[in-house]
């Protein structure tokens, strides 16, 4: 079995971010969300994973990965 890829190395499309408690989430196809992309931001001790949530070609929200409970992928 292969070692799982890190969030920033995984090239599968992200379809949903679920927040703690499971009651709130961002999902591609809902609320004008067209895509969700993982990327790195500089932090105090190195790079920190974040997610950019797009509506069309514009970023409508940025989410620190530390505040996400579940990342769901498409094909």
Looking at residue 49, what is its pLDDT? Answer: 95
Looking at residue 25, what is its pLDDT? Answer: 95
- Whole-model pTM: value is 0.89
Q: Give me the average pLDDT of each 10-residue run along the chain (75 residues).
A: 89 96 93 97 92 97 96 90
Strands 25-27 and 14-18 come out as antiparallel
Looking at residue 67, what is its pLDDT? Answer: 95
For 29, the 3-state DSSP assignment is: coil
Tokens describing residue 40 = 């790195």
Q: Let me know: does 53 contact 33? Beta carbons within 8 Å.
A: yes
The DSSP code for 3 is: P
The DSSP code for 69 is: S
Domain boundaries of the chain, sorted by first residue: 1-36
């Amino acid at each position: 079995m292969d070692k799982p890829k890190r969030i920033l190395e995984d090239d599968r499309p992200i379809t949903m971010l679920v927040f703690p408690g499971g009651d709130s989430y961002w999902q591609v196809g809902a609320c004008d969300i067209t895509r969700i992309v993982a990327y790195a931001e500089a932090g105090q001790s190195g790079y920190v994973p974040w997610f950019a949530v797009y509506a069309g070609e514009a970023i409508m929200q940025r989410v620190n990965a530390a505040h996400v409970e579940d990342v769901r992928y498409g094909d």
